[in-house]
Amino acid sequence: MTFEQRVQDRTAVIGVVGLGYVGIPIALGFSAAGFQVLGLDIDADRVAGLNAGKSLMRHVPDEQITAMLARGFEATTDPARIAEADALIICVPTPLDSHREPDLSFVTGTMDALAPHLRTGQLLSLESTTWPGTTEEVLRPYIERAGLTMGEDFYLVYSPEREDPGNPDYTTNTIPKIVGGTTPACLAAGLALYGTAVEQVVPVSSTAAAEMVKLLENIHRSVNIGLVNEMKVVAERMDLDIFEVIDAAATKPFGFTAYYPGPGIGGHCIPIDPFYLTWKAREYGLHTRFIELAGEVNAAMPDYVIDRLFRALNTRGKAIKGAKVLALGIAYKRNVEDMRESPAVLVMERLRDLGADLSYSDPHVPRFPRMRKHRFEMTSTPVTPETLAAQDAVILLTDHDDFDYAMIGQHAPLIIDTRGKFRDGGDTVVRA
């Protein structure tokens, strides 16, 4: 029986490697499509939690995990069990190292663990964002070293994740899925597989093209956010309200798309992915100047926020040292609890270093989580008229819908507003 037949009659077992923000939604999708799903992760706590029906992610309710368990889902830490799977979908992180270069160690670590267990008839799909060429140059040799023939007894594809946690309009199965294959047979197998779980599959001519698609999407966002951050600084110096300007420009029904400035960029994609292309382009003697500029401008935003605070406090004869400062919203974007690469944390660290009497409030982050590079022993402060009135300054960093902006505007003596939520605040509101 061919791979595609096993997919069609749902006897194929879907292995998902890496059970995080990307892996869990894809596992849920294939489970809902009628497949038995086997999840693999190196984190034993996460595996145990999932097997006990715990989602570990706010935007995925536990009921979805228990329903998937009822349909035969199982999580394991044992890579040998991957031999049971027909499809291996790799959803592991691809971060940057401390020199801002690609860190593929999660991908190669995964491949090292899986390699002894690869077998005839399997399909392997990488979903992690990475530089064009990764699938061919890094993954393909693993398959070939295992003695498997590409496109004949093994299929290799690249299909970038496009998850957007918290987006109310789109879910994994309604977001079109790009697929590139190492051979035409690989591509066909990949399309057959993903076609069972997502409404629209989009074939491209190679795995490298698919890798570039994902990078272009995130480079586009990084550069557009960089641009409005630069425009924000210019507008503020000219005494113009950049949010008013952007909203008015957005009334143009063609040729303009609104992006909004903020205290920097966060999340696991936009601050990181573009530099995968930067790194690869150097191999060709090329510089990705827009990526570098966007990175530079966006990375300067936390200091810009601090500078705006410093000047506003200074006008009142106060230093940052000893000032009571409340950070409002510390997740990396609106209405989520995700803290990865949140620029709010960078602002908080600067405030701590400068000696501020710092607290934070975030309805989605009741306790400051353990992070690889950042450490705060803090819990979320309730936002009340009293706590607001007791501050020297309040910095709005992430504009969750749950905040009562009218109440905040009424009681905070000074608001540093990085999100344009306070439009006519008079002297107590400073844009940053």
At 325 the three-state DSSP class reads strand
- Element holding 145 (H helix, E strand): helix 140-145
Burial 211-238 (b: 16+ CB within 10 A, else e): bbbbbebbbbbbbebbbbbbbbbebbee
Smallest gap from Cβ 200 to a copy of itself, in A, equals: 7
Smallest gap from Cβ 110 to a copy of itself, in A, equals: 25
Cβ-based neighbour number of residue 84 at 10 Å: 14
Q: Using the rule CB under 8 A, is 289 a contact of a copy of itself?
A: yes
Q: Using the rule CB under 8 A, is 226 a contact of a copy of itself?
A: yes
Q: Closer CB to a copy of itself, residue 255 or residue 317?
A: 255
Q: Using the rule CB under 8 A, is 227 a contact of a copy of itself?
A: yes
- Element holding 126 (H helix, E strand): strand 122-126
Contact pattern from residue 248 through residue 267 relative to a copy of itself, giving x for each residue in contact according to CB under 8 A and a dash for the rest: xx-xxxxxxx----------
Q: Using the rule CB under 8 A, is 175 a contact of a copy of itself?
A: yes
Q: Using the rule CB under 8 A, is 121 a contact of a copy of itself?
A: no
Q: List, in sequence order, every residue forming a beta bridge with 328; answer none if it has no partner.
A: 361, 396
Q: Using the rule CB under 8 A, is 117 a contact of a copy of itself?
A: no
**HEC per residue, 281-317:** HHCCCCCCHHHHHHHHHHHCHHHHHHHHHHHHHHHCC
Q: Using the rule CB under 8 A, is 280 a contact of a copy of itself?
A: yes
Q: Closer CB to a copy of itself, residue 139 or residue 393?
A: 139
Smallest gap from Cβ 75 to a copy of itself, in A, equals: 29
**Can you tell me which residue has the tokens 């394991």?**
76
| Catalytic positions, written as ranges | 269
Smallest gap from Cβ 21 to a copy of itself, in A, equals: 16
Q: Using the rule CB under 8 A, is 191 a contact of a copy of itself?
A: no
DSSP string, 245-293: HHHHHTTSSSS-------S---SSSTTTTHHHHHHHHHTTT---HHHHH
Smallest gap from Cβ 289 to a copy of itself, in A, equals: 6
Q: Using the rule CB under 8 A, is 303 a contact of a copy of itself?
A: no
**Which token pair is 303?**
């200091």
Give 20: exposed, middle or buried? Use CB within 10 Å, 0-12, 13-18, 19+.
Answer: middle
Q: Using the rule CB under 8 A, is 431 a contact of a copy of itself?
A: no
Among 82, 297, 331, 397, the residue binding a copy of itself under the rule CB under 8 A is 297
Smallest gap from Cβ 411 to a copy of itself, in A, equals: 26
Rg over alpha carbons for the chain, rounded to the nearest Å, is 24
Cα-flanking dihedrals φ and ψ of residue 130, to 5°? -165, 175
Among 13, 208, 344, 394, the residue binding a copy of itself under the rule CB under 8 A is 208
Q: Closer CB to a copy of itself, residue 15 or residue 180?
A: 180
Q: Name the site residues for a copy of itself (rule: CB under 8 A).
A: 132-133, 162, 164, 167, 169-170, 174-176, 178, 200, 202, 204-206, 208-210, 212-213, 216-217, 219-221, 223-224, 226-227, 230-231, 233-235, 237-241, 244-246, 248-249, 251-257, 277, 280-281, 284, 286, 288-290, 293, 297
